[in-house]
Structure 1
Amino acid sequence: MTDVVDLNALKNWMDSQELGSGEITNSHLLTGGTQNILMQFDRSGRSYVLRRPPIHTRQNSNKTMQREATVLSALSGSNVPHPGFIAACDDTDVLGANFYLMEPIVGFNVLNGLPDLHQSSEDLQRRMAFSHMEALAALGAIDYKAVGLENFGKIDGFLTRQAPRWLEQLERYKKYTEWPGLGNAESIDAIAGWLDENCPASFEPGVLHGDAHVGNVMFRLDSGEVAALIDWELATIGDPLIDLGWIIATWPEVDGTETLMLEVAGWESRPTIEELIEHYGKHSHRDLSNINWYGVLACFKLAIILEGTYARYCAGKAPKDVAERLHESALRLIARALTLIDKS
């Protein structure tokens, strides 16, 4: 464990923060390696979860940890289901990177399959999806200024700069000369043009999660309620309907067609995308008349993000199996974006 987290250094820092006393016990990794590290442990009869960047930190890893800690601290006491914030450390001399401590979450992630209770109940399965929408609506309703997040994002031009930013990202992949491009270039241009022409003229700023697909949710073991939205590294201040757009982009179609191909076992009774939009609308005052625009944007953005791995694979810089799977997802997302445009 000490090759991942120096428990003695952590103990000394916790002493300075008056977070328990004595030895750290029952430490074990929840995740680790190339992704952000999660480690659960006990001290003085209390359980903690530590979150820090991977051992080989990326350029913005420490800033990302600071932002996650900031938003979780701001959400403390709210009705948004989130990991309970305890404390943060921005002194990289302690563990070699920024980190924070949070409360453990009792629940399950659908990517690991559904518990027997949930597999056996259509009502619970539908409730899970609706509870997710309520959690996102509650997040969007937070008064970001009142909770100290006024400087957490750049609001001016937030929507108008989205499509050009991601189109520019796609252009950067051309440096990998072996990369054939993301599907039909005319389709990409058509989507970018439609987003530009139909961009909402205004929006009400709020907190958004930034990566709101169902894989970033923990559900309660005893009900269909959300236990916590997790993985807050893309959270910012902007238009919260971006999160609902993310759902439109990633939720399975009625015929079972998936864009992300998450392979969630046992979740057969899911509401339709239209039902989810309607349910979100019942719990939010926001205008959903332009919601297809957010769905198209989410498809466009996520497709370009995923395609980056395939572009690197074409240059021999990423594994084939992962790259090809993500490329297939990117193509499905572009197809869904075009379908949404046709419906608008």
Structure 2
Amino acid sequence: MIDTNRLAAWMDEQGLPGKGAPLEAKFLSGGTQNEIYRLRRDDFTCVIRIPPAGAPADRDNGIMREWRIIQALDGTDVPHTTAVAACSDTAVLGRSFYLMGFVDGWSPMDHRDGWPAPFDTDLEARAGLAYQLAEGIALLSKVEWKAKGLHDLGRPDGFHDRQVDRWTRFFERIKRREIDGMDVATKWLQNHRPLDYIPGLMHGDYQFANVMFEHGAPAKLAALVDWEMGTVGDPKLDLAWMVQGWPEDMNSPDAAEASYVDLRGMPNRAQLVEHYAKVSGRQVDDLDYYLVLAKWKLAVVLEQGYQRAGDDVKLQSFGPVVENLMRSAAELAESTEYSS
């Protein structure tokens, strides 16, 4: 739990609203990496994001990295939470933390059993959720990251070289089984790196789980959230990460099972990609490369969870998912028109 007395004193030092008034903290969400609390003080409301006491030490650096991104988004067209204040002095609350504006909206993660009204029955309105999702990263890709002081956030030079090499080494460290298709997909990725890579700001784990929407219709993004994987890299990997499992027939029963949310009634992959290209101004002719990379990388990431599953039924379920993803990556690599 947050030490509200120490936090209130620090907030007073920063000149934030509500000086002298009691500070209330309500836990919203969190896990092993971060915790989020809503803070209220008189009429002032914001949110604190802070690693729990037991989180790895490097999460303090990660929190400040997230803060830099949120600050950089101020003044851009990207829907985002407002940057309020940050603290790297662990003497205050034991960990680094930052405060951001409270978003009056809703998260798809809170509606896994069905979309909220009117998106539960109005399929035309539901389609807007997907287009807005695609638009979020399209706008993000247009941020002038150097002008925003993010020149040292990532290492864009050699980004694609490092993606394959880094995650291959990671897999070798955790490897306990062979995964069908991995050798094929890995070799293909090594031989088909993009020729016109344009660096940009990327989210790193872009999906419905990491955005919030404003209440009501038409669909409108309220904020992109959870910047743990944010970096300067290739924004088209965000796009591929978003659509790698997106079905083509959006009215089929498969669309209801392709994700943790019901995708029926939404635009298909081609329509989403077209919208991204229109808003971002980036060409998407080589999207197959990014789809192979997204499937391959996600398979490696989930394999770690599967290897640690033990008696955890959810993590055990990653096993066949990893196999399907890697097989799909290899099949796409072999079938794409520039696979020679």
Closer, same or farther: CA 306–96 of 1 in aligned 2, 3 Å:
same
- Offset of 1:261 from its aligned partner? 6.0
Q: 8 Å contact 1:164–1:192 — kept in the other structure? A: no
- Pair 1:39-2:37 in alignment: yes
How many angstroms apart in 2 are the aligned matches of 1:250 and 1:93? 44
What SS does the corresponding residue of 1:212 show, helix, strand or coil? coil
- Pair 1:16-2:10 in alignment: no
The amino acid across from 2:208 in the alignment is V
Aligned to 2:99: 101
List alignment gaps of at least 5 residues for structure 2: none
The amino acid across from 1:325 in the alignment is S
Q: How many residues in Structure 1 have an aligned counterpart in Structure 2?
A: 329
Q: 8 Å contact 1:160–1:196 — kept in the other structure? A: yes
Closer, same or farther: CA 26–16 of 1 in aligned 2, 3 Å:
closer
The amino acid across from 2:75 in the alignment is G
- Offset of 1:256 from its aligned partner? 5.2
**Equivalent of 2:73 in 72, 75, 81:** 75
Q: 8 Å contact 1:22–1:43 — kept in the other structure? A: no
How many angstroms apart in 1 are the aligned matches of 2:256 and 2:97? 33
How many angstroms apart in 2 are the aligned matches of 1:260 and 1:57? 33
The amino acid across from 2:9 in the alignment is N
Aligned to 2:60: 62
Q: How does 1:1-344 map to 2 (within 5 A)?
A: 4-20=1-17, 21-113=19-111, 114-174=115-175, 179-181=176-178, 183-184=179-180, 187-223=181-217, 224-252=219-247, 254=249, 255=252, 257=254, 262-265=259-262, 267-313=263-309, 318-341=310-333, 342-344=335-337
Query: What is the aligned-residue identity percentage?
Result: 34
Closer, same or farther: CA 282–202 of 1 in aligned 2, 3 Å:
closer
How many angstroms apart in 2 are the aligned matches of 1:252 and 1:205? 28
- 1:255-301 C-alpha deviation (Å, 9 max, x unpaired): 55589964325x52121111111111111221211111111111111
How many angstroms apart in 2 are the aligned matches of 1:153 and 1:75? 16
How many angstroms apart in 2 are the aligned matches of 1:276 and 1:97? 40
What SS does the corresponding residue of 2:45 show, helix, strand or coil? strand
List alignment gaps of at least 5 residues for structure 1: none
How many angstroms apart in 1 are the aligned matches of 2:245 and 2:86? 32
Closer, same or farther: CA 251–94 of 1 in aligned 2, 3 Å:
farther
- 1:9-29 C-alpha deviation (Å, 9 max, x unpaired): 100110110112123444211
What SS does the corresponding residue of 1:156 show, helix, strand or coil? coil
- Offset of 1:308 from its aligned partner? 0.2
How many angstroms apart in 1 are the aligned matches of 2:255 and 2:61? 33
- 1:29-51 C-alpha deviation (Å, 9 max, x unpaired): 10134341000021131101000
Q: 8 Å contact 2:245–2:259 — kept in the other structure? A: no
- Offset of 1:252 from its aligned partner? 4.4
How many angstroms apart in 1 are the aligned matches of 2:257 and 2:316? 12
How many angstroms apart in 1 are the aligned matches of 2:259 and 2:53? 27
How many angstroms apart in 2 are the aligned matches of 1:329 and 1:209? 23
Q: 8 Å contact 2:4–2:24 — kept in the other structure? A: no
Q: 8 Å contact 1:22–1:44 — kept in the other structure? A: no
How many angstroms apart in 2 are the aligned matches of 1:153 and 1:221? 34
Q: Higher mean Cα deviation, 318-327 or 52-61?
A: 318-327
